[in-house]
Amino acid sequence: MSRVLTIGSGPAGLEAARCVAELGYDVTLIEQLDRLGGTPEIERYAKLTHHFRDSEEAMREMITAVTSKPNVQVLPNTTVLSASGEAGKFRVAVKNGGAPQEIEAGAIIIATGFQHFDPGRETQYYNYYSLPDVITISDLEGMLKDHAVLRPSTGTPPQKVAFIQCVGSRDRQIGNEYCSKVCCGIASKQAIEIREQLPDSQVFIFYIDMRMYGYWEPQLYWPAQEQHKVTYVKGLVSEILPQGDRILIRGEDTTMGRPMEITLDMVVLSVGMEPSEGTKSMAGVFGVEQNQYGFIATGGASGIDPVATSRPGIFVVGAAAGPSDLDDSFSTAGLAAVRAASVLRNGGK
């Protein structure tokens, strides 16, 4: 059996499918929606953290790199119903539109990604669902794409905007003890974009600690502060309250050891990552273990393998395994493609 089944068509799924196809094996890529691209497509990402590349353009290139391969079969509008078999000979029942179908595959790559934390679950008083001018980084991404960063309440450009970091992340009460890894970079990227689109605006980022992995430090954080004059303040916010037709945030400036009460026009919640519904259901369908946060557990026998699930022949890539940036998605996709290919070559051994 020389086919690999890849589930999910975000960056990780696309890259895994492309790599398997490049290695000369057949791929079936299934996607539950009618279009490919995953979260960047669904949430209308404006720009990527990588050199501020246009997200739509980058995704289009990735999609074309997959759909142009003769040995890739793309099945949109498709969901997985059940699975049986083992490494080298899986049989997976899917529903393509209305029609059931069975796919035989030697290896499976799960790339079902994440969903953003629902700020309604936040234990702080953040008022996401009651104050229109409290939005999330994903809401803002669409505004940036449309070049229409506007206060939802008035339709006018905000003068003062604040990002609040770690919403739904690093929180024992919420149950998400992990760092979502990308939000510091995304907030800094978006702060730069707001300053570019609204040069008269004042932009704040309230944080516990800025986690700028690797090159994000010189590519995002430093330029945001040094060139784009974004105001970084160490200390999170406990309350977001209405103040007339504006917003009052209350917190502590920990560097000064003093309380702060700042009036703003718009607040952006840097919501973290949680396993998507698809990720949770695929874990059930394929019987792979999940970690305590619901992501698909990795590690394999060595404990350090980032794509191995609890079942041989089934691999996980990208944010289905936990908070990931695009680099993580690409790295795990490539690794999983090689692993899947060797399962096919060795007949499941």
Partner 1 sequence: METTVKLKVQGVIELKEALVDGIDVSGHWNRMFEQRVIWEYTPHLIQEVASLNDAESFSWCYQCAKCVPVCPVDVVGNYGPRKLYKNAQTGTSLLESPNLWLCTTCMNCLRVCPKQVDVTKAIPAAREQAILNGKSVPAELQEALENTSRYGNELGQPARKRDAWVAQASVPVRVLSKEKQPVEWLWWVETYPAYHPRGIDASVALARIFHTLGLDVGIIGRDEKTTADSQRLAGERGLFEMLAEENIATLGKYEFKRIVVTDPHAMNAFRKHYPGLGGTYDVWHYTQLLADHLDTLRQHMTRSLGYHVTYHDPCYLGRHHGEYEAPRKLIEALPGVTFSEMWRNRENGYCCGGGGGGMWLDGFVVEHQARRLSEQRILEAVATGADTLVVSCPYEVSRFEDAAKSTGNENTIRIRDIAELIAEAIPA
The residue among 69 and 195 lying less far from partner 1, judged by its C-beta, is 195
Partners of residue 95 on adjacent β-strands:
79, 100
Q: Does 224 bind partner 1 (CB under 8 A)?
A: no
Q: What is the DSSP letter of 176?
A: B
Cα distances from 26 to residues 15, 22, 203, 204, 305, in angstroms, run 14, 9, 49, 49, 24
Q: At closest approach, how far in Å is the CB of 326 from partner 1?
A: 25
C-beta atoms surrounding 127 within 10 Å: 19
Q: Does 222 bind partner 1 (CB under 8 A)?
A: yes
Amino acid at 28: T
The residue among 51 and 258 lying less far from partner 1, judged by its C-beta, is 258
What is the footprint of partner 1 within residues 193-212 (CB under 8 A)?
A: 202, 204, 210
Among 153, 231, 290, 310, binds partner 1 (CB under 8 A): 231
CA angle 340, 342, 348 (to 5 degrees): 85
Interface size with partner 1, residues (CB under 8 A): 20
Among 253, 293, 294, 310, binds partner 1 (CB under 8 A): 253
What is the footprint of partner 1 within residues 260-279 (CB under 8 A)?
A: 260-262
Q: At closest approach, how far in Å is the CB of 182 from partner 1?
A: 20
Amino acid at 241: L
DSSP string, 19-79: HHHHTT-EEEEE-SSSSS-HHHHHTT--B-TTTT-BHHHHHHHHHHHHHT-TTEEEE-SEE
Q: At closest approach, how far in Å is the CB of 136 from partner 1?
A: 23
Stretch near partner 1 under the rule CB under 8 A, chosen from 95-103, 224-232, 280-288, 317-325: 224-232
Can you read off the two tokens belonging to residue 239? 């309350």
Q: At closest approach, how far in Å is the CB of 241 from partner 1?
A: 14
> Which residues contribute to the site for partner 1 (CB under 8 A)?
202, 204, 210, 221-222, 225-226, 229, 231-234, 253, 255-256, 258-262
